[in-house]
């Protein structure tokens, strides 16, 4: 009976914290990270929606770099936020919320790529667009740039999982070695070694592709 | 050849990465001035970083995707805290198999314990039963009526007798028998067997170093 009551209570909390109408309270949008987490834990309606809104782009992009295609990146992003929601009570603010989310994302990605190797590296699918400013770029230049970017992504996708994670977080998400060590678990020294070996592996693969 | 010239330590991955990332100026590492190999490797790593930067862009999803992702997360979170199904329908086949296996194991262990409990209490009675069983088997064998059941009982009794002679406290270091048991065995040998044994012992003692 107590168990049923606890589950019902959890369901009620979810209904409150994740507003089904998806219209976050405007007052939540300007809250600091700590305040927002506190509101989530206080079951404020729509608070977790704001967390998702703030971090969905970076989480998705990290997932995409790992798995190399939109569908899997989308599924992984959803999984990451679900894990974050479940574990929000264990977040004590020891690191930033972004770092904490990156940690969850890296774990989810490493689990995924280990279970489902090798990753699929797809070209842009229909309905996706490029953010690059193409006003000053000729079509052929743009084509070359995209081709080169796809080669680099494909080469990165072939790196060992931990090296790939360290390189992606360092190169494309501007995280410090310390933050990466926190996200991946391990020391700063091991992160540097992973980035170094990832760069050497990348060089070898890019040269091999020429 | 001067060993000091041939033995040369090269830059560690950590130092190399610091140089690549600009965290440490080239001038701060005197080794670079003298080591062609490290200079060349550093240059190569810098080129790789530049190449990797071209893979920074990833296809940008449609603006509608972000709201779609938020909605998916919202639904997943809400579904995650839905009341559980009735406990029977909620059990997967794997869990059922696991539960079945555990129940089966408990039954087997229980039956085994009951069997032990029936045999353990009266050691004297057990010995009497053992002797009776051996006599019964001998009688059956003499009559040419030794049954499989009788054979099994005799083997079990033999094993039990052997167990009595074993010193279990030192069994971990290798099975051994009690003192005096060898003398008893020698006494049971026939005269021919004793002659052969004596011959083997003399032969062994005559060997150098024996």
pLDDT band at B135 (very low <50, low <70, confident <90, very high): very low
**Distance separating alpha carbons of residues A125 and A70, to the nearest angstrom:** 8
> Nearest by CB to B54, which of A10, A70, A148?
A148
Long-range contacts of A128-132 (CB under 8 A, 24+ apart): A128/A70, A128/B59, A128/B60, A128/B61, A128/B62, A129/B59, A129/B60, A129/B62, A130/B57, A130/B59, A130/B60, A131/B57, A131/B60, A132/B57
Q: What is the mean pLDDT of residues B33-47?
A: 93
Q: B146 touching A, CB under 8 A?
A: no
pLDDT one-digit tens code per residue, A11-28: 444 444 554 455 667 778
Q: B63 touching A, CB under 8 A?
A: no
The shortest C-alpha distance from A116 to chain B (Å) reads 21
Same fold, A7-122 and A141-210: no
The answer to whether residues A62 and A109 touch, using CB atoms and an 8 Å cutoff, is yes
CB atoms near residue B115 (< 10 Å): 10
> Nearest by CB to B70, which of A49, A149, A192?
A49
The answer to whether residues A18 and B78 touch, using CB atoms and an 8 Å cutoff, is yes
- Residue B149 has a pLDDT of 45
CB contact under 8 A, A196 and B51: no
**Distance separating alpha carbons of residues B153 and B136, to the nearest angstrom:** 10
Token pair 């009526």 in the structure block, residue: B145
Indicate if the pLDDT at residue B145 is higher than 60: no
CB contact under 8 A, A167 and B52: yes
Proportion of chain B above pLDDT 70, given as a percent: 52
What residues does each domain of chain B span?
9-53, 123-165, 179-210
- Residue A170 has a pLDDT of 93
CB contact under 8 A, A202 and B52: yes
Helices (H) and strands (E) in chain B, counts: 10, 0
- Residue A114 has a pLDDT of 66
Nearest chain B residue to A125, by CA? B59
User: Cβ contacts of residue B140 below 8 Å, gap of 6+?
Assistant: B146, B147, B150
Per 3-state DSSP, chain B is made up of helix, strand and coil in percentages (nearest 5) of: 70, 0, 25
pLDDT one-digit tens code per residue, B174-201: 444 444 555 666 677 778 888 888 888 8
The answer to whether residues B137 and B150 touch, using CB atoms and an 8 Å cutoff, is yes
- Residue B92 has a pLDDT of 52
- Which of left, alpha, beta for B144 (phi over 0: left; psi -120 to 50: alpha)? left
- Residue B133 has a pLDDT of 46
> Nearest by CB to B73, which of A20, A81, A129?
A81
Name residues 134-193 of chain A within 8 A of B (Cβ).
145, 148-153, 155-156, 167, 171-172, 189, 192-193
CB contact under 8 A, A199 and B52: yes
- Identify the DSSP state of A129: B
CATH number of A141-210: 1.10.10.10
Indicate if the pLDDT at residue B86 is higher than 70: no
Rg (alpha carbons) of chain B, rounded to whole number:
41
Instruction: Flag whether the pTM goes above 0.80.
Output: no
For the record, the structure tokens of B111 come out as 């039956």
pLDDT one-digit tens code per residue, A125-143: 333 344 445 567 788 888 8
Q: Among B75, B66, B64, which Cα is nearest to A57's?
A: B66
**Residue with the larger pLDDT of the pair A48 and B127:** A48
- Residue A6 has a pLDDT of 43
**Distance separating alpha carbons of residues B30 and B117, to the nearest angstrom:** 80
Look at A19-23, A160-164, B28-32, B102-106 and tell me which has the smallest mean pLDDT. A19-23
Name residues 61-120 of chain A within 8 A of B (Cβ).
61, 64-65, 70, 74, 77-78, 81-82, 85-86
- Identify the DSSP state of B169: G
- Residue B88 has a pLDDT of 39
- Residue A151 has a pLDDT of 87
The answer to whether residues B194 and B186 touch, using CB atoms and an 8 Å cutoff, is yes
Q: B50 touching A, CB under 8 A?
A: no
Token pair 């009735």 in the structure block, residue: B86
pLDDT band at B95 (very low <50, low <70, confident <90, very high): low
CB contact under 8 A, B74 and A49: yes
What topology is assigned to A7-122 in CATH? Answer: Rna Polymerase Sigma Factor; Chain: A (1.10.1740)
- Residue B196 has a pLDDT of 85
The dihedral of CA B188, B189, B194, B196: what is its sign? negative
**Which residue of A19, A203, A208 is the best one to mutate when testing the B interface, meaning the one whose CB has the most B CBs within 10 A?**
A203
pLDDT band at B9 (very low <50, low <70, confident <90, very high): confident
For the record, the structure tokens of B88 come out as 């029977």
CB contact under 8 A, A70 and B59: yes
CB contact under 8 A, B55 and A148: yes
Indicate if the pLDDT at residue B158 is higher than 60: no
What residues does each domain of chain A span?
7-122, 141-210
**Distance separating alpha carbons of residues B99 and A206, to the nearest angstrom:** 52
> Nearest by CB to B69, which of A74, A131, A149?
A74
- Residue B177 has a pLDDT of 44
Buried (b) or exposed (e) across B146-170, using 16+ Cβ within 10 A?
beeebeebbeebeeeeeeeeeeeee
Indicate if the pLDDT at residue B22 is higher than 70: yes
Residues in chain A predicted with pLDDT less than 50, given as ranges, are 1-16, 19-20, 119-132
Nearest chain A residue to B54, by CA? A149
- Residue B89 has a pLDDT of 40
Proportion of chain B above pLDDT 90, given as a percent: 22
- Residue A117 has a pLDDT of 53
């Amino acid at each position: 009976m107590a168990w049923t009551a606890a589950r019902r209570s959890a369901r009620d909390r979810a209904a409150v914290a994740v507003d089904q109408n998806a219209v976050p309270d405007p007052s939540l949008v300007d809250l600091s990270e700590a305040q927002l987490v506190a509101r989530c834990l206080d079951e404020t309606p729509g608070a977790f929606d704001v967390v998702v809104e703030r971090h969905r782009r970076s989480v998705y992009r990290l997932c995409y770099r790992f798995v190399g295609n939109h569908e899997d990146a989308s599924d992984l992003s959803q999984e990451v936020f679900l894990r974050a929601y479940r574990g929000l009570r264990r977040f004590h603010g020891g690191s930033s919320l972004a770092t904490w989310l990156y940690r969850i994302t890296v774990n989810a990605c490493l689990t995924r790529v280990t279970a489902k190797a090798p990753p699929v590296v797809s070209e842009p699918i229909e309905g996706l667009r490029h953010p690059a400013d193409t006003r000053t770029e000729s079509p052929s230049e743009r084509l070359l740039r995209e081709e080169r970017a796809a080669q680099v992504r494909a080469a990165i996708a072939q790196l060992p999982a931990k090296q790939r994670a360290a390189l992606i977080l360092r190169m494309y998400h501007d995280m410090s070695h310390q933050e990466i060590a926190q996200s991946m678990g391990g020391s700063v020294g091991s992160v540097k070694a992973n980035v170094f070996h990832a760069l050497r592996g990348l060089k070898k693969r890019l040269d091999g592709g020429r | 050849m001067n060993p000091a010239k041939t033995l040369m330590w090269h830059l560690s991955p950590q130092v190399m990465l610091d140089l690549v990332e600009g965290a440490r100026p080239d001038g701060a590492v005197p080794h670079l001035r003298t080591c062609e190999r490290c200079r060349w490797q550093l240059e190569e790593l810098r080129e790789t970083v530049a190449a990797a930067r071209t893979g920074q862009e990833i296809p940008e999803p449609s603006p509608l995707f972000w709201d779609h992702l938020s909605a998916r997360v919202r639904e997943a979170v809400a579904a995650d805290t839905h009341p559980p199904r009735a406990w029977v329908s909620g059990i997967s086949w794997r869990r059922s198999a696991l539960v079945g296996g555990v129940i089966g194991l408990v039954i087997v262990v229980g039956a085994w314990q009951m069997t032990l409990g029936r045999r353990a209490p009266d050691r004297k009675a057990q010995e009497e039963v053992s002797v009776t069983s051996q006599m019964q088997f001998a009688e059956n064998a003499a009559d040419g009526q030794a049954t499989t059941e009788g054979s099994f009982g005799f083997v079990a009794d033999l094993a039990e007798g052997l167990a009595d002679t074993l010193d279990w406290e030192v069994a971990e270091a290798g099975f051994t028998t009690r003192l005096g048991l060898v003398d008893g065995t020698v006494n049971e040998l026939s005269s021919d067997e004793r002659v052969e044994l004596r011959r083997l012992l003399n032969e062994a003692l005559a060997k150098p170093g024996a």
